[in-house]
Chain A
Amino acid sequence: MGNAGHILKCKQGDGLVFILILIFFISTLAAIVIEYYRMDSLYQQVEYVLQRGVNASVEYAMLDEYRKDGYARMDSDLAEEKLYEYFHESMKLDRELNKYSGEQWVYTLEIQSLTATDDPPRLIIKGQLKTRSVFSFLTGEVRLPFTLSSSNYRIDEGGSP
């Protein structure tokens, strides 16, 4: 602190340089923090939308012919098909699962595994969200991993033999 006070009181211009460095440092830090929150917000948003898609796919693929007899069973192929349909039609992702805002690329979904089981009815998706910072001075691509699953459970009240 003593040095900082000395520099600020220095009449040879060192104080101005110091203030500029300080402003640069604070601005950079602020940019990093803002970018962190932006990416986190994007991640949360994508995760939320993805979860909704996974749930909807499971719900859609539940088989009524089992449900009416009190069993929970899913058409896993149909669930996977519906999830991809959701990517393209609801999330507006292209064939490579890229998301664009106008002409601007926003993110890519990189799916590592998609596991669906008929019984118990469950759909698990693992992958990562690939995106990039809006500040060119920050490091290039960021990959944010996610694991989402959805299951259907019976509340047994009807349909037993």
Chain B
Amino acid sequence: MKRKGLIICLFMVLCLMLLSAQAFAIVDSDIEIEISSPLDTMTSESGIVTFDHFPAEIAINTTANVGTITGIEATFEGKTREISPQHNISIENKESCGEYTITAQTDRGAVLTITANVLYQAKAKYNIRYRTVAMQINEVWDGGKRIKSFSSPQRIDLVNANSIAEYEKERIAQLIGKRDGKTYTLKGSFVIEVYDYATGIVKARYDVNKDFDILTTKIKWTLETFIAFETMRNGAISYQAPVEIDVDAAWCSENKQEVYGELSAQDKGISEYFYPYKTTSVIYSKDDISLGQSFLYKGLEWEYSPNTAEYTDGESQSQTSITKKIHYKIPTANFYFKFIKENNPAGDNPEGSNPEENIPDNKPDPNPDDQKPDEEEYPEPDSDEETPAGKDEVYDLGVQRITPDRYKENQTVISTIKVSNSGSLDFTPGQNITVLFEIPELSLSKRVNAVVMERDTYNVVSVKWDTPNVQADKNITLIAVINPDYVLDKEESNANNTYTQKAVIKNVVYEQPIESVTMPAPPQRSEQPRVTWKEQRFENGRFVWQEFYAELKVTADLDYDTKDKGYIKSGYGFSIKVTTSVNTNYDKQKFITVPQTAEVYLPQYRYETAIPLTKEGNCFTFKENPESLFRYKKQYIPVWFPDNRDYIVQLLVTDVHTPGGTLSKWITGGNLTMKVVDSMYSDDVTTGS
């Protein structure tokens, strides 16, 4: 039994290993391009294929997973020609080596472009050998136009000497930073590692193009290896930028002035950012949003922007659903399911249905499984108290505002909803006033119970929720509904019970800082270390306004070896320890979050680029610095930093979310100042004997 179990485990591990080998290919592509050389194979991604003797055959096999291939082009040294789905390239000599860009498209509108760097590789004979470990990207090209050039080359690690490492792909997307569906070419050269085969010790690393002379003169390579290096001086990879898909449907009145509900393509499961090598389709039906029997369907209208021969505006009175194929060139599309609302006298329901059906349910059911939404810890209503439904007083509840409208990803945040009570009725905790907070895009739903409000006043209620991780800025809709269950059914008007606020969850990306030898003084910053707000409470049988405050306190300290001597030598690093606390008199501590962001700004980056700190226990410290070979959690003072000058660090601590707003505090200088004297070069000596 044990042996069988062991065999099964080993087999599973083997399966996982085989599966992981496929993980580098583009997933969900409609097209598959496989490029094979005598030594390597790459599938649907840019990379390297190698061979070890001339002539060599490079096989290109193109297949469509969805639709039919309509054209394949191969580009080499600026010349483009059409090729067949099964095509062989013969590499006769070193001049035939280089970058081959293959572009295939389907009848569905998918386009896949990859670049294969076809390289000659000398057979290893001797103990000193080389292996390809990375690419150094110097420039980004859009067709024949250079759009970016990097002052210091961007290193892209390769796996198995032919594939781009998975963790580099997001960085490539950031390097390009485009969302226009175009294909960009990243150009550079290859990096090799020279190593001792017997001991495995790496002797040196070379950029084959930049260090070509040193590489080829310092070590006595064979002629074949020399030829191999000549083919590796230049390399390229292709990157297809995604596009933003903007396809929406609205359920509205005939003149489109009154909107009862909306669904975007993202609500239908379509990714917001869509790559050119994919296609899909979205189906909208008039019944996607149920408006009740008092709404009569009048037809479907569609609009495209811009209008093209393929995409023209139109309408149909009989069409009740529409299927739209989506590919990366689709323009902005809006579909309108138009209705007229029949006037039903209150209480007169000819269909005999529940009166609640007359009220549009203008969003998809966030709780399809009939789950009870999360409830905030407000006091439960006292069921013994009389509800206003039994009284004759006139009242009108409303939602006036939801703040803020910008959030950052991966945070615990507080949304504040301002609700109002116009009329002559007071609402005490015993009355069942509920506020429902929803974000359809995140399937998030929370309730705040027992909201109190004196007549003709307002109150604020807070909702705590967690923002998700997003790959790009994500648009969301914040919806707050007061009295969502119509428990209080004698309300004067329900028109203002629902408030919708468009908001965005920002994708937080820290840019690679660029060093500058001109140092400005630390800039003035605006901050909000203290906020106050008022809440209405019902205490001792009467309504009272209570004022609350929250204040952010920050202490920060730098640490370095020569701190006790009162200076630091340029070139060396320093660490930081930031301690934070929030003072408040608010009795609902859960609605005051801890500081979630701390960043420093340094003089060598002109105080322009943020260096993020990471939380360790109760403190913020530097993250492991990739510039440090030992991954120390430090930032380094550049060696050129002038002597006898103050090195001033600027610190921001923020994202303390409270019902009164977000707290932020800047600290400049003080404990965050170091005097720079001398340099690290004076701490070692070279002597002869």
Give bound CA distance, A153 to B572, whole Å.
17
Interface pairs (25), CB distance under 8 Å: A54-B688, A59-B686, A67-B680, A67-B681, A68-B571, A68-B573, A68-B636, A68-B680, A69-B573, A69-B632, A70-B572, A77-B203, A78-B204, A81-B214, A81-B218, A148-B688, A150-B686, A150-B689, A151-B687, A151-B689, A154-B684, A156-B683, A157-B562, A159-B571, A161-B632
CA separation between A87 and B507, bound complex, in Å?
56
User: Which residues of B are found within 8 Å of A66, using beta-carbon distances?
Assistant: 629
Q: Knowing that A62-B686, A158-B560 are A-B contacts, what are 9 other residue pairs whose CB atoms are under 8 Å apart, sorted by A's residue number?
A: A64-B571, A75-B204, A150-B688, A150-B689, A151-B687, A152-B686, A153-B687, A155-B685, A157-B569
Bound together, the chains give a CA A37 to CA B630 distance in angstroms of 53
**4 closest A-B pairs by CB:** A158-B572, A158-B561, A150-B688, A59-B686
B105-132 residues at the A interface, CB under 8 angstroms = none
Is the C-beta of A131 less than 8 angstroms from some C-beta in chain B? no
Partner of A69, one of B629, B682, B684: B629
A12 to B680 alpha-carbon distance, docked (Å)? 83
**B639 CB–A CB distance under 8 Å:** yes
Residues of A close to B571: CB separation below 8 A: 64, 67-68, 159
A interface list, Cβ under 8 A from B: 51, 54-55, 58-59, 62, 64-72, 75, 77-78, 81, 148-161
**In whole angstroms, what is the CA distance A60 to B203 when docked?**
17
Contact A77 B686 (CB under 8 A): no
Q: Are A77 and B204 in contact, CB atoms less than 8 angstroms apart?
A: yes
The interface residues of chain B, by DSSP majority, are classed as: mixed
Interface string of B556-570 (1 = CB under 8 A from A): 000011100000110
The interface of chain B, by Cβ under 8 A from chain A, is 203-204, 214, 218, 560-562, 568-569, 571-573, 627-630, 632, 636, 639, 680-689
Q: Is the CB of A69 within 8 A of B630?
A: yes
Q: Could you say which residues of chain A place their CB within 8 Å of the CB of B685?
A: 152-153, 155
Closest chain A residue to B633, Cβ basis: A161
Enumerate chain A residues within 8 angstroms of B688, measured Cβ to Cβ: 51, 54-55, 148-150
Q: How far is the CB of A100 from chain B (nearest CB, A)?
A: 23
For A69, the chain B residues whose CB sits under 8 A away are 573, 628-630, 632
**Whose C-beta in chain B lies nearest to the C-beta of A152?**
B686
Let me know if B639 and A64 touch, CB within 8 A: yes
Residue A151 contacts which of B561, B568, B686 (CB distance < 8 angstroms)? B686
Q: How near does chain A come to B121, taking the closest CB pair, in angstroms?
A: 23
Chain A residues within 8 Å of B560, by CB? 158
Tell me the bound Cα distance from A68 to B638 in angstroms.
Answer: 10
Residue of B nearest to A53 (CB): B688
A161-B630 contact given A51-B688, A153-B685, CB 8 Å threshold: yes
Chain B residues with CB below 8 A from A153, complex form: 684-687
Give the chain A neighbours of B686 by CB distance below 8 A.
55, 58-59, 62, 150-153
Q: Given the interface contacts A81-B214, A158-B560, does A65 sit within 8 Å of B683 by beta carbon?
A: no
Query: How far apart are the CA atoms of A160 and B683 in the complex, in Å?
Result: 12
User: What B residues does A55 contact at CB under 8 A?
Assistant: 686-688
A155 touches B632 (CB 8 A): no
B628 nearest CB neighbor, chain A only: A69
CB pair B684 A150 closer than 8 Å: no
Q: For the complex, give the distance between the alpha carbons of A78 and B204 in Å.
A: 9
Q: A153-B687, A155-B683 are in contact. Are A160 and B214 (CB under 8 A)?
A: no
Q: Are B684 and A72 in contact (CB-based, < 8 A)?
A: yes
- Using Cβ atoms and an 8 Å threshold, which residues of chain B touch A75? 204
- Chain A residues with Cβ below 8 Å from B628 are 65, 68-69
Closest Cβ of chain B to A46, distance in Å, is 14
Which A residues are CB-close (under 8 A) to B203?
77
Given A64-B571, A69-B573, A77-B218, residue A159 in contact with residue B687 (CB < 8 A): no
Complex alpha-carbon distance, A159 and B687, angstroms: 21
**B219 CB to nearest chain A CB (Å):** 9
A66 CB → nearest B CB, Å: 6
User: Please, which residues of chain B bring their CB within 8 A of the CB of A70?
Assistant: 561, 572
User: When chains A and B are docked, how far (Å) is the Cα of A64 from the Cα of B688?
Assistant: 20
Q: How far is the CA of A153 from the CA of B636 in the complex (A)?
A: 22
The CB with the most chain B CB atoms within 10 A, among A55, A69, A156, is that of A69
Q: Cβ of A81: which chain B residues have Cβ within 8 Å of it?
A: 214, 218
What are the residues of chain B within 8 A of A64 when measuring CB–CB? 571, 639, 680
A59 to chain B, nearest CB (A): 5
Residues of A within 8 A of B204 (CB): 75, 77-78
Task: Give the residues in chain A near B684, CB-CB below 8 Å.
Answer: 62, 67, 72, 152-155
Q: Which residues of B contact A156 (CB under 8 A)?
A: 683
Residue with the highest number of chain B CB atoms closer than 10 Å, among A69, A158, A159: A158
Nearest-CB residue, chain A, relative to B218: A81
